[in-house]
Amino acid sequence: MRSGVRLALDWGKARIGVAASDRDALLAFPVETVAAGPGAITRVVALVAEYEPIELILGLPRNLAGQDGPAAVAMRAVADELVAVLPELPLRLVDERMTTAAASRQLSGVGRNTRKQRSVIDQAAAVALLETALQQERNTGRPAGEQYHHG
């Protein structure tokens, strides 16, 4: 298992959940929710400067058949923007099909009102995404998902 912080992004149309791992890649924890739209990339760049991750993990919303639909195509466009502004930082796309649903179920299970807690759900989804990526790396010895290359 590689040591070093990972930063994970659950990028939605309205909000972006952000999670980070500890340097030993044992724990994933919520960082913040960033408003999507103008300024989002700038905030992500600032978080990268603050956390100094070894890689950025971006959730890839594949369809239930595991293929790229319109949402995944849109996320690859986000990945292009991130690679353009953070060319030295490896970016990995990790299948996120179940993370938002799982986060929502977990939070509703502990009595959170999901309508009022959307930003918390986005952070929890980013944590779930990062936990999935860390578990895959522990199980296989290889980084999770696919290394993204511009274009």
Q: What is the CATH number of the domain that holds 32?
A: 3.30.420.140
More confident call, 109 vs 40: 40
What is the model's pLDDT at position 151? 57
Number of domains in the chain: 1
User: Within a domain: residue 148?
Assistant: no
- With tokens 């044992």, the residue in question is 26
What is the model's pLDDT at position 84? 96
pLDDT of residue 94 exceeding 60, the answer is: yes
What is the model's pLDDT at position 62? 84
Using 50, 70 and 90 to split pLDDT, how confident is the model at 112?
low
Tell which residue, 133, 129, 131, has the closest CA to residue 143: 133
For residues 115 and 105, what is the distance between their CA atoms, to the nearest angstrom? Answer: 13
pLDDT of residue 65 exceeding 70, the answer is: yes
Domain that holds residue 98: 6-140
What is the model's pLDDT at position 22? 97
User: Do 4 and 25 touch, CB atoms closer than 8 A?
Assistant: yes
More confident call, 15 vs 96: 15
Q: Name the average pLDDT for the chain.
A: 87
